[in-house]
Amino acid sequence: MKTSIKLITMLLFCNIFFFAKAAETPRPEYPRPQFERTDWVNLNGEWSYTFDFSQSGLERSLFKSEGFDDNIIVPFCPESKLSGVGYKDFINNIWYHRKIEIPQTWDGKNIRLNFGAVYYTAEVYIDGKFVLRHFGGSTSFSADITKFVKSGQTHNLVVYAKSDLRSATQAAGKQSLRVNSYGCNYTRTTGIWQTVWMEPVAVTGLKSTQVITDIDQSQVVIHPAFYRESGNTLKVSILDNGKVVGKSNVKATNNSIVIIPIKKAKLWSPANPFLYDVVYEIINKEGKVVDKVNSYLGMRKVHTEGNKIYLNNKPFYQRLVLDQGFYPDGIWTAPTDADLKKDIELSMAAGFNGARLHQKVFEERFYYYADKLGYITWGEAASWGMDCNAVETARNFLGEWEDIIVRDRNHPSILIWTPLNEAWWPDQVQYPRFAADLYEISKNLDPTRPVNTSSGGVHILTDIYSVHDYEQNGERLKKNLYNDKGEYKQTTPNGNTNRGKSMNIGFNGLAQVNQFDFYRYPGDIPYLIDEFGGIKWTIEQQKNPGDSWGYGNAPKTKEEFYSRLEGQVDAIISLKDQVWGYCYTQLTDVEQEQNGIYFYDRSSKFDMKRINAIFSKTPTSDK
């Protein structure tokens, strides 16, 4: 009898523990650490949903729904295991629903409904009323829902997400355009895939800031923007470990510029990733703080001179790894906040000083940890899958790229912007126009960073000339990049390589004026190999090694792997006067692409001390 009672007690405890764990909010942390308000409500967790394969949901008035039949865990996409759904075929339409309750204490403030990201087009409804439509699967957006809700009441929130991945008009990144994953294309992400949250904001609250750290003049320059201008005052305080080291009060208008001198500024760098805390307060005429935002900044400068990239006015050699940000259980969404930090720590343990964040816009909390840990990043868009000659594609992508830069430009860890990857589209009119527009938009929105307009692709306007080369032999790789005649490898509009000699290039069967000179490496900007390696390793922990994908023939032993890897890295470093930095493919395996330094589950493949010794090598000129 005692045994039975004990067993029943244990079962009850286990059930209570299970339901308690199930009730926990996934990804509970505030998603925007560089622009943080303390009063907010996380809307992650269980929502109801329904697929809409016939695209008849609007006719059936699903926007008026008070709940669907099936449940999904937000912010995980329906393709993922963590969502509780795991449907991996194409999803062209999906509807979400959940109840939202507006706290009584939010009365008198504007209510902002925020989305980290929804792939691809999102429509938002409250109690059947249309609120907002957003285009772009990788960017954050916000809706003012004040007129649709009432404090102390509960409302029906419906989100309709649409995706036409194979239309070639939207940025897909590494999402597979086939039913199944293949090669270097993987499981898709549809619908809500980042945190959803609400927060109250003063009617005259702070909307955004652009922060420029001017280390040459030892000052910080801030351009604030407000939801509504008023007679209020914006107070900005910059703190070093709790001590105010700079402050300024200005009128809370969109014309105001905040300039704060910082004496003996502590510079941010990988060696010393020091961050100043920043507090923004909007104070009304009665002296009351009506809005407060907590932030931070890193004092640093990046620029190019000649063929080198400089950090804080010193040549800085980048040893990057390609990070695609996929997770076995969450696909594009990290299972936990700790997983974001862990990926950076794994990369640093392998000897890299940063990452090219590849074909995905990473969430802001990843940049937060990069900022804190001193980890260099390149901000990139999910550009694959687009027809860059199409007008609608350009319209979609230009707007999304603008949002990406505006959201992330205050993060000190981001050194380079890279809107496109391997853009080889054979069009001498629309593609050059598109690429040039991307460059100009990038520089207009953020003049403080170099732009690598098309990584490994056709360069129109660019601050960096980058190439990709997966030659597995180190000596041949070296000759590919820079040969005995002093010629650089260069990419032509059709994706082939050329040594800079004159070419007659024809497109679509029509004779064209030779424009190859337009795409040549000019010789006075940094030249980088930002994809190489990709060495396949399939001997261990592989169920179907014949189905795996990587570059070259897989080494037969780990010693052969180390030798091949070191040969490639040594070859690149030896060209320190010609090639100023590299990016190795890649940090982890991703599904069938098994050429990572780590396995897909982040476990180690190799002796990481030996791996670190290889990737920690630095050209002697990097002092």
Beta strands of 194-330 (E only): which ranges?
196-201, 206-214, 219-226, 233-240, 243-251, 258-261, 276-283, 289-297, 302-305, 308-311, 314-315, 319-323
Model confidence pLDDT, tens digit, residues 566-580: 999 999 999 999 999
357 pLDDT above the threshold of 80? yes
17 pLDDT above the threshold of 80? no
The pLDDT of 376-401, averaged and rounded, is 93
Task: For residue 603, count other CB atoms closer than 10 A to its CB.
Answer: 10
The pLDDT of 481-508, averaged and rounded, is 68
Higher pLDDT, 13 or 534: 534
Q: What is d(CA 93, CA 571) in angstroms, rounded to the nearest whole number?
A: 49
Least confident window among 201-210, 349-358, 413-422, 502-511: 502-511
Q: What is d(CA 539, CA 595) in angstroms, rounded to the nearest whole number?
A: 12
Helix (H) or strand (E) holding 571: helix 558-573
Q: Return the pLDDT at 16.
A: 37
Q: Return the pLDDT at 549.
A: 87
Model confidence pLDDT, tens digit, residues 18-40: 333 445 899 999 999 999 999 99
Q: Which tokens belong to 579?
A: 């090639």
Residue % of the chain over a pLDDT of 70: 90
Q: Return the pLDDT at 546.
A: 58
Average confidence score pLDDT of the chain: 91
Q: Return the pLDDT at 23.
A: 55
Q: Return the pLDDT at 544.
A: 54
Q: Go through the domains of the chain in sequence order and give each one's CATH number.
A: 25-201 (2.60.120.260), 206-297 (2.60.40.10), 302-615 (3.20.20.80)
- For the whole model, what pTM was predicted? 0.93
pLDDT confidence of 623, banded at 50, 70, 90?
very low
Structure-token match 């070639």, residue found: 168
Model confidence pLDDT, tens digit, residues 231-273: 999 999 999 999 999 999 999 999 999 999 999 999 999 999 9
pLDDT confidence of 540, banded at 50, 70, 90?
low
Amino acid at 392: E
Q: How many Cα atoms within 13 Å fall on the side-chain side of residue 476?
A: 8
For residues 337 and 29, the answer to whether their CB atoms sit within 8 Å is yes
Q: Which tokens belong to 154?
A: 């509960």
For residues 478 and 575, the answer to whether their CB atoms sit within 8 Å is yes
Instruction: Of 408, 466, 422, give the one whose Cα is nearest residue 583.
Output: 466
Q: What is d(CA 346, CA 336) in angstroms, rounded to the nearest whole number?
A: 16
